[in-house]
Amino acid sequence: MGTTFLNFDPFPVLVLAVIGTAGLVVGFVIGRLRIGHFKKLLAEKSDLVEKTARQLVEKNLELSDQNIRLQRSLEAKNDFVSVASHQLRTPVTEIKWAIENILDGTYGELTEKQKEQVRNTLESAGKMTRLIDELLHFVDAEAGYREYTITPIEIEPLVTSVLDEAEKRFAEKNIRLERALGFGATPLSGDEAMIEIAVANLVDNAFHYTPSGGTIRVGTERRGDSFVYTVADSGIGILREKQGDIFKKFRRTREALDMHTGGVGLGLYITKNIIEQHGGTITFDSEPGKGTTFTVTLPLSPARTAT
């Protein structure tokens, strides 16, 4: 039996080996290049993140500093308003006292024309007193440190007193006042002075924005364990796009300014604050050109005696 030898050509194998080795080398080089690229990219991103972080820290410090300055500015403003209002209260009270004495004839009889002028002056002094009170209540509400003295209140006589005091102004402006007081003699727990301010503010608000010949209806009733107080007027109403701002401070519409040039736009803001501090709610329903109805609901025994 003879021996057969295969004819083996090593060249293709060598070529394949060289190509394979070259591929590995190229792959390794490309891999190294990619790693280098990614390292460079990562370093750049890291520098960017670090730079952004530094900028955020600087901005945060800047904003903190601005916030501190703003807070100090607000505190200074509130302190100024409070001090100025307290300082104004005494001389205005003295002016009112002197005018009332003149009007009562303490210093001699006046002619009817003189009495009319003195009454107008007394009314202006009253407006100044109410403005000072609004500013003081605003500062207290902003600072959140007013203390409320909770006692039993005969609420219906309180409402009646406010309406009796306002009735003369209503008659002079030819506004009809309707009373629908049905709450009865049940006492309400709250700070009497604060509740009176809220009750009077809503009556004044209706008066200022109801034209001559209009009607204002004030009602009280009991609903479950709550006292409900409503003031409905046939005045100018509130534009729908302005209704979201009605309880915000210093907000007055052009229509409101045309009707009533006095005031600074704090009455409803203060009223809402007082009602909420007593655990109650205040809502309104308004139709432009047809009038507005405010509804206050207060628990007979407030859940908290807020400060």
Under CATH, domain 151-299 is a member of which superfamily? Answer: Histidine kinase-like ATPase, C-terminal domain (3.30.565.10)
> Three-state DSSP class for 172?
helix
Q: Give pLDDT, residue 72.
A: 63
How does pLDDT run across 285-303, given as a tens digit for each residue? 999 889 999 999 999 876 5
Integer Cα distance of 244 and 175 in angstroms: 28
Comparing C-alpha atoms, which of 233, 200, 206, 230 is closest to residue 218? 230
Q: Which of 26-35, 111-120, 183-192, 241-250 has the lowest mean pLDDT?
A: 26-35
Instruction: Rounding to the nearest 10 degrees, give the CA dihedral for residues 106, 110, 113, 119.
Output: 0
Alpha-carbon gap, residue 232 to 218, rounded angstroms: 6
Residue 3 predicted with pLDDT over 60: no
In which region does residue 198 sit, left (phi positive, over 0), alpha (psi from -120 to 50) or beta (all else)?
alpha
68: its two tokens: 């501190």
Residues in the chain: 307
Q: Residue 221's beta-bridge partner residues?
A: 228
307 band by pLDDT with thresholds 50, 70 and 90: very low
Per-residue pLDDT at 111 exceeds 90? no
59-86 core/surface letters (b: 16 or more CB in 10 A; e: else): eeeeeeeeeeeeeeeeeeeeeebbeebe
- Tell me the whole-structure pTM to 2 decimals: 0.62
Q: Amino acid letter at 89?
A: R
Per the CB < 8 A criterion, the answer to whether 301 and 213 are in contact is no
Give 125-180 pLDDT, tens digit per residue. 877 777 777 777 777 666 665 677 889 999 999 999 999 988 888 998 999 999 99
> What pLDDT score was predicted for residue 217?
97
Long-range contacts from 163-167, C-beta under 8 angstroms, 24+ separation: 163/203, 163/218, 166/200, 166/203, 166/204, 166/207
| Residue 305: pLDDT band with limits 50, 70, 90 | very low
Count CA atoms within 13 Å of residue 220 on its CB side. Answer: 20
* Phi/psi-derived region of residue 112, left when phi > 0, alpha when psi is between -120 and 50, beta in every other case: alpha
Average pLDDT, the chain: 78
Confidence band for 10, pLDDT divided at 50, 70 and 90: low
Decide if 147 contacts 307 (C-beta within 8 A): yes
Q: Which of 128, 73, 79 is nearest to 99 (CA)?
A: 128
> What values do phi and psi take at 289, rounded to 5?
85, -5
* Cα–Cα nearest to 131, from 253, 271, 262: 262
Greater confidence (265 vs 276) lies with 276
Assign 306 to helix, strand or coil: coil
Strands (E), the chain: 151-153, 176-181, 188-190, 215-223, 226-233, 281-287, 291-299
Tell me the per-residue pLDDT of 44-96, one tens digit each, with 9 for 90 and over. 666 676 677 667 666 766 776 676 766 665 565 556 555 555 566 677 778 88
Query: Model confidence over 249-268: pLDDT tens digits?
Result: 766 555 555 555 455 678 89
Per domain, the residue ranges of the chain are 15-146, 151-299
Tell me the pLDDT band of 283, cut-offs 50, 70 and 90.
very high
Q: Which residues contact 268 (CB under 8 A, 6 or more apart)?
A: 201, 205, 246, 247
Angle at 281 between CA 275 and CA 283, to 5 degrees: 115
Q: What pLDDT score does 5 carry? A: 47
